[in-house]
Structure 1
Amino acid sequence: MKALHTLKIVALAVFLTASFAAPDADAQRKRGEQAALYPDATRKSPTGGYAPRLAKQHQKLQSIYTEEGREQEAIALAEEIINNERAKPYDKAIALMTAGTVAVSMDDEARGIDYFERAIAEDALVNDNHYNLMINLAALYVNASQFDKADPLLARLIAETSTKNPDVYAMQASSFYNNGKYAEAIASLKKATEYKGEAQPQWNSMMLGAYAELGQDDQAIALGEEILAKNPDDKRAISNLALLYSNNDQPAKAVALLDGARKRGLLNEPADYERIFSTYYNMEQEAQAAAVIEEGLAKGILPQEAKYYTMVAQAQYFAENIAPAITAAQKAAELSKDGEPGLFLAQVLSQEDRNPEAMAAARAAIAKGVKSPGTAWMVIARSEYYSENMAAAKAAYREAAKDPATREQAQKALAQISR
């Protein structure tokens, strides 16, 4: 159950006033404007401010950096501040953070990462900005699959702040999961759930996947059943548990779960019907498999495509329901852009001694194109033979002998009827 859990970047909080009278969050809190986001942080929040001669540049930067179409101008202005010899660490950190925000808005995440890394390295931002910036940088790392950078950064953030933000732990779990650290991912997801009060659907999916990757199938199934018991009509929970059952040699439970959901009208997408079909088919319950696809086609859930009629035809054939198998194969051959369904139809018709129809279907399949033309010619040859058309049978075997896949078989048959 390997899957990427991409996280959206959380919004940057740039705690600056329009007049720049209070350039840091600590000053704002003294006026009662907001509570600290990281009250338990071990880092002492810096109290530095802007270089007075750069105030106008900062003010302009903050006024334009969110304006559409002025992104390059904003980055250029930020670079002027960063490279100014009068710039203090705080000036550089704010400019780097702002430039990174603009770069990310332009989908230039690599550049955003560079700016954010340098802003954090200045170690000059107030705690709220400093740690929010860490969260955003970690999110960028995760989205860029740079998990070996995300993992230590998030560990540092948690260690320094003792944060109880569930989204931080969920992001950490995502990074661990996609970095193959499944036990660590489970621990982080448990923390996220503890602080959130309840697990989110995507967290449950990740937890199930982590258990499965660790081979802890019993725990995965137990969790899946617990989740479903709380939300019996949750389609995601049904699909996840059915997959777990199937992967653990419990197909009967899987199909009962899926088919029960189908009958309750919860499954209404092609993939749902294909999953139920496959489960029934692998259990050698071909008639039930065919019935599922037939229902999907009748209800319009499945499109009128050759592949679905082929699925019905094959299932009905192996269920020894030949008449409906032929009907479905005929429809599949009609809809298909290639001749493969028609070849299957020809083979079934030949086995039923419906030789003229078999030959017509085989020729139509060849005309549309098949992977092994020789197989179609073998059907024609046998049908001609049993119709006592020896000359035509020999000619068909010669055609079959041109195909490497049927050459040996065709040559032997030709030798036998030529004696």
Structure 2
Amino acid sequence: MQAARIQSRRYSMHAPNAKKLVLCLGAVSLLAAGIASASRLPGERSNEQRSSKSSSKQTENAYPNAKRNDPKTDMPGSLGTKLNKAQEAASDGEADKAIGLIDEVLADKKVTPYAKAFALYLRSNAKWEKEDGAGAIADLKEAIALDALPNSNQFPAIYTLAQFQLQEEQYADAAKTVDQYIELSGDKKAEALAVKGNALYRADKFQEAIDAMKLAIAASDKPQDSWNQILMASYFELNQFGEAAKLSESQLQKNPTDKKLIQQLASIYVNNDQNEKALQLLTDAKAKGLITTADDYKLLAQLYGQAEKPAEGAALLEEGFQKGAIQPSYDMYKLLGDSYALAENETKAIDAYGKASPLAKDGEADLLRGQLQINNQLWAPAKESLTKALSRGVKRQGAAYVLLGNAENELGNKSAAIAAMEKAQSYEETRQMAGTWLKMIKGGGAPKKK
């Protein structure tokens, strides 16, 4: 009987789905923000533009390291007016109206490359709002390919395309698009590198994801939690538990009472076969009053078992039950029984398995209880437990029949004992043992204990 190995091969990161992390960078809002920089088309200067030359210069210098020069922009006034109305409709949540106006612009014979690119840019946003990801991506690609937008729109369009591709699970394309954005714009902002790292992680390119995320984190004064989560998950996928531990330890130093970080680091230690460090970490957490939930108690009790300290694990679980932190359940009573069994306190183990039994979906707890009752020569209770185990289903049926035959024999039920041992003979793992018992029972005795 062994304490259950704490499973965390696929690092959970306390997120609904590790492989489906979504970096909340606000793709749509970024797109809208990019458009806002050119929301008044040529010939329609806003009050802000007229009153603030410094603002205009700031917009012009948004990408000082760009390898692309701003193209000349020209747009008939009638088309500019219609596109402004489309943008206003989109801002008001009237996506269908916006798309209708944009389609009119695209069908107009007077449409210029700039007007077409800008119209496609706007329509991609409207389609995204309508949850038409494929359409939004297609329009954005076409707008970018026209190469007619000013840098203040062209580069946000490329960046937004990467985010759309990430959301639509086009991971390889998203990573390439981020590279295109950085190459052309000269902007190596942390958010862009994080989008790339996210895409690479979800494309199972874990080492590349690590490299990208480390650059993103280094480039930011306030890295998002999700960036560290993706970096951590990538370390896990490559079994780089030492690196994962360093990252988690540095985070825990900043937030020493963060229970999620403590559990995360404990999980890392377990995966790196550092059970003692995990146990010490959680023991210290308990001293700080941070072990409060059933899951907390369960993890620490499992670690006690793996550290060959099952008595401490059993005492911990009893405390959890007494405090009401642990509610009655099959898993927790089963773990309590396992802990007592490993600690060789068979009387309490029998009691714990008995509490697990009515909450069980199968007969495994009954089998364990029956085995311990046999050890303690509790023949009638053992018969009851083993009969129940077999009726409810167990994995080791041969062993259950051998134990049942033993109990029946000790109770003087020779025919029942023979019947049980004969059934045990039909299982490969207990065939020889059952045969030996049958010979002895039929001969009026029982096998001598070794």
TM-score, structure 2 normalization: 0.80
In the alignment, which residue of structure 2 is the partner of 1:380?
Answer: 404
Secondary structure of residue in 2 paired with 1:325: helix
For residue 127 of structure 1, the aligned residue among 146, 151, 157 is: 151
Structure 1 pair 298–123 and aligned structure 2 pair: CA distance change class (3 A): farther
Measured in 2, the distance between the counterparts of 1:29 and 1:181 equals 50
- Per-residue deviation, residues 396-415 of structure 1 (Å, max 9, x unmatched): 33444566765665455334
2:269 is the alignment partner of 1:245: yes
**Deviation larger for 404-413 or 137-146:** 404-413
Letter in 1 for 2:259: K
Deviation at 1:325, TM superposition (A): 0.8
Identity %: 30
Q: Which amino acid aligns with 2:87?
A: Q
SS at match of 1:65: helix
2-structure distance, mates of 1:143, 1:94 = 23
**Residue 22 of structure 2: aligned partner:** 6
Cα offset, 1:328, TM superposition: 0.9
Mapped pair 1:341 → 2:365: yes
Kindly indicate whether the alpha-carbon contact (under 8 Å) linking 2:65 and 2:187 is maintained by their aligned counterparts in 1. Answer: yes
In 2: Cα distance, 1:322 partner to 1:75 partner? 74
Distance 1:54 1:334 in 2: 74
The Cα shift of 1:309 comes to 0.7
Asked whether the equivalents of residues 23 and 226 of structure 2 are also in contact (C-alpha less than 8 Å), the reply is no
Q: Quick one: structure 1 residues 153 and 275, their matched pair in 2 at CA, closer, same or farther if it must change by over 3 Å?
A: same
Does the CA contact (< 8 Å) of 2:409 and 2:417 recur in 1? yes
Match of 2:63 in 1: 38
Provide the rounded CA distance (Å) in 1 between the counterparts of 2:166 and 2:51: 32
Please give the residue correspondences for 1:101-116 in structure 2 after superposition, counting only pairs within 5 Å: 101-116=125-140
- Indicate how the Cα distance of structure 1 residues 227 and 368 shifts in structure 2: closer, same or farther if over 3 A, else same: same
Counterparts of 1:16-27 in structure 2, within 5 Å, are 16-17=38-39, 22=44
Does the 8 Å CA contact 2:242/2:272 hold for their aligned counterparts?
Answer: no
- Residue 448 of structure 2: aligned partner: none
Q: For 2:371, what is the secondary structure of its paired residue?
A: helix
Is residue 65 of structure 1 aligned with residue 117 of structure 2? no
Post-superposition Cα deviations, 1:127-173, rounded to whole Å, max 9, x if no partner, equal: 22222222222122233443321222212212222325322222222
Using the alignment, how far apart are the partners of 2:341 and 2:193 within structure 1? 52
Instruction: Report the more deviating stretch, 407-416 or 240-249.
Output: 407-416
**Deviation of the 1:231 alpha carbon:** 2.3
Question: Taking CA–CA contacts closer than 8 Å with sequence separation of 6 or more, which of the two structures ends up with the larger relative contact order?
Answer: 2
Q: Which amino acid aligns with 1:333?
A: S
Distance 1:157 1:389, change over 3 A: same
Contact 1:333 1:339 in 2 (8 A): yes
- Hey, what's the Cα distance between the residues in 1 that align with 2:80 and 2:333? 71
The aligned residue for residue 155 of structure 1 is 179
TM-score, reference length from structure 1: 0.85
State the Cα distance separating 1:330 from its structure 2 match.
0.7
2: distance between equivalents of 1:268 and 1:205? 24
Q: Deviations over 1:88-138 (max 9, x none)?
A: 222322332223223323333233222222222122223222222222221
Asked whether the 8 Å contact 1:350–1:383 carries over to 2, the reply is yes
Alignment root-mean-square deviation, CA = 3.3
Decide whether the 8 Å contact of 1:333 with 1:345 is kept in 2. no
Give the Å deviation of 1:197: 2.1
Given the superposition, is the C-alpha separation of residues 50 and 413 from structure 1 closer, same or farther in structure 2, using an over 3 Å criterion? Answer: farther
Which residues of structure 1 form unaligned runs of 5+?
Answer: none
Q: Is the 8 A contact 1:50 1:91 kept in 2?
A: yes
- Tell which deviates more after alignment, 200-209 or 399-408: 399-408
Match of 2:221 in 1: 197
- Tell me how far 1:306 sits from its aligned partner: 0.3
In structure 1, distance between residues paired with 2:80 and 2:134: 28
Equivalent of residue 356 in structure 1, options 357, 361, 380: 380
In structure 2, C-alpha distance between the alignment counterparts of 1:54 and 1:65, rounded to whole Å: 16
Q: 1:334 to 1:122 in 2, by over 3 A?
A: same
Conserved 8 A contact 2:241-2:271: no
The answer as to whether partners of 1:66 and 1:102 remain within 8 angstroms in 2 is no
Q: In the alignment, which residue of structure 1 is the partner of 2:415?
A: 391
| Aligned equivalents of 1:239, 1:348: Cα separation in 2 | 34
Change (3 A) 1:305 1:175: same
Return the alpha-carbon distance in structure 2 between the equivalents of residues 307 and 347 of structure 1: 19
Find the aligned partners of 1:414 and 1:185 in 2 and give their Cα distance.
63
Contact 2:198/2:209 (CA < 8 Å) preserved in 1?
yes
1:353–1:61 CA distance, 2 compared to 1 (3 A): same
CA deviation string 1:35-61 (max 9, x = no partner): 324343232233424344434542442
What CA distance in whole angstroms lies between the structure 2 residues aligned with 1:141 and 1:189?
18
